[in-house]
């Protein structure tokens, strides 16, 4: 693998040099006022990126998986009933975590490539007259299948059922890259990580809690120590942490959030959409299909591309790494060997995306797939040339 080439995995993503340098800092006294100058803007800027006026932000030395555990252990008790759909590897893993914590999970089995079944959620929640379901888990962007689900639709299902369950959203591969509306969608806990849209190394679980979720922590019975938000609140009150903080990563997060806000959230989201559309144009030119079942489900951060029957998609990923020094994502779980993934999020431009499209094209040609060299690249070029970046700016 060549460090000179950009990566096209859906995280960790390419890191701007300025952010890398911000993480590489001298040791400071994390109990001094200097640390507060790093912490405070991180919390404020993440809240802005979540589009929330009131969410409490918590930063843990962990990953998105630790963020899932933070959501569960701070709000729920053993035996609590949870509703979730399994439509990909990461929704599956969150469900598995619930089971390991002794929660009672009602799982709606959903095809991999489909979005969250909000209509089925509404039926189940409406039937739950005793309000035994305490939380609904929703994966906003299923990284394994390249499917973006309608979180606003899940909130509408909760409201239509008149149900008080908390809404937990995995936004690990969406937040800071695609539009996310914490307040408007009535999200109670949003989970993400540092290594995707925030363009940092892995190492930070970034979590937003609503007032209802914070209140639920007062009576939650699941054990927690490292991920206790009450301990973190106490630390924040003194501009500190309950334990040694990852200062370098947080300094990088301060700069990353400033860069995102300076670019403008609408511009950030538009850039991701534009790059993704170019990748999708290439996929069509290759005569292939995405795992996502319909255009309304297409993710703007990762495309899972189905290979023809009899073609092991993992061979494309392996060949790209060994022959061209370029990283793509393999298929996971039920789609292992059936798809390869092109990550197009974080620090990326259309010019960088073209290099990934060209490499994927070479790999498929090398392996004997019926792909014409240059077809996908030309299709993406046509899209990028005819679609100026300013024209795809999204509402902030």
Residues 277 and 368 occupy one common structural domain? yes
Please give the residue range of the domain that contains residue 98: 17-261
Could you tell me if residue 7 is inside a domain?
no
Could you tell me if residue 12 is inside a domain?
no
Asked if residues 175 and 48 have their Cβ atoms less than 8 Å apart, the reply is: no
62-72: string of b/e by CB count within 10 Å (b at 16+)? bbbbbbbbbbb
What is 372-389 written as a DSSP string?
A: -TTHHHHHHHHHHHHS-G
> CATH no. for residue 239?
3.40.640.10
pTM exceeds 0.75 for this model = yes
- Alpha-carbon distance 212 to 262, whole Å? 31
Residues 274 and 126 occupy one common structural domain? no
The structure tokens listed for 155 are 């909130």
Residues 272 and 255 occupy one common structural domain? no
Predicted pLDDT at 396: 55
Which tens digit of pLDDT belongs to each residue from 319-329? 999 999 999 99
Asked if residues 53 and 167 have their Cβ atoms less than 8 Å apart, the reply is: no
For the chain, 396 residues long, the average pLDDT of each consecutive 10-residue run is 86 96 92 92 98 98 97 98 97 98 98 98 98 98 98 98 98 98 98 98 98 97 98 94 96 98 97 98 98 98 97 98 97 97 96 98 97 97 88 62
Predicted pLDDT at 373: 96
Which of 193, 228, 261 is the endpoint of a domain? 261
Predicted pLDDT at 390: 63
Could you tell me if residue 1 is inside a domain?
no
Count structural domains, the chain: 2
Which of 241, 261, 281 is the endpoint of a domain? 261
The angle subtended at Cα 163 by Cα 160 and Cα 165, nearest 5°, is 130
The angle subtended at Cα 267 by Cα 263 and Cα 268, nearest 5°, is 75
Predicted pLDDT at 388: 78
Could you tell me if residue 144 is inside a domain?
yes
Predicted pLDDT at 39: 97
Predicted pLDDT at 394: 66
Residues 59 and 38 occupy one common structural domain? yes
> CATH no. for residue 379?
3.90.1150.10
Alpha helices in the chain (DSSP H): 17-23, 33-49, 64-73, 89-100, 118-127, 151-161, 211-216, 229-237, 247-263, 265-285, 313-319, 350-366, 375-386
């Amino acid at each position: 693998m060549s460090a000179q080439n950009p990566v096209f995995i859906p995280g960790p993503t390419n890191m701007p040099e300025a952010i890398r340098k911000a993480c590489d800092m001298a040791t400071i006294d994390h109990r001094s006022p200097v640390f507060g100058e790093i912490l405070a803007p991180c919390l404020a800027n993440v809240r802005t990126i979540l589009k929330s006026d009131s969410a409490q932000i918590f930063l843990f030395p962990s990953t998105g998986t630790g963020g899932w555990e933070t959501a569960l252990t701070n709000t729920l008790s053993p035996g609590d009933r949870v509703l979730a759909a399994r439509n990909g590897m990461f929704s599956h893993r969150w469900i598995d975590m619930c089971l390991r914590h002794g929660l009672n999970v009602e799982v709606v089995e959903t095809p991999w490539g489909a979005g969250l079944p909000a209509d089925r959620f509404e039926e189940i929640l409406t039937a739950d007259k005793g309000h035994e379901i305490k939380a609904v888990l929703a994966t906003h962007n299923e990284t394994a299948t390249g499917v973006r689900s309608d979180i606003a639709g899940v909130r509408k299902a909760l409201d239509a059922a008149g149900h008080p369950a908390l809404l937990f959203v995995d936004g690990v591969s969406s937040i800071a890259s695609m539009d996310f509306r914490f307040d408007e969608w009535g999200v109670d806990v949003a989970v993400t990580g540092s290594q995707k849209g925030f363009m940092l190394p892995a190492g930070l679980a970034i979590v937003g809690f609503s007032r209802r979720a914070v209140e639920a922590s007062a009576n939650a019975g699941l054990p927690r120590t490292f991920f206790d938000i009450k301990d973190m609140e106490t630390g924040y009150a003194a501009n500190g942490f309950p334990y040694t903080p990852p200062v370098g990563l947080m300094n990088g997060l301060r700069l990353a959030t400033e860069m995102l806000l300076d670019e403008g959230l609408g511009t950030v989201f538009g850039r991701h959409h534009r790059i993704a559309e170019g990748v999708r144009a290439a996929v069509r030119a290759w005569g292939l299909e995405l795992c996502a079942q319909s255009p309304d489900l297409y993710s703007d951060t990762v495309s899972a591309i189905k290979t023809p029957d009899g073609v092991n998609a993992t061979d494309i990923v392996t060949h790209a790494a060994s022959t061209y020094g370029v990283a793509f994502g393999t298929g996971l779980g039920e789609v292992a060997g059936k798809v390869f993934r092109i990550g197009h999020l974080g620090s990326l431009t259309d010019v960088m995306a073209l290099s990934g499209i060209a490499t994927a094209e070479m790999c498929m040609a090398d392996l004997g797939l019926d792909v014409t060299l240059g077809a996908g690249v030309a299709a993406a070029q046509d899209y990028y040339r005819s679609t100026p970046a300013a024209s795809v700016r999204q509402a902030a």
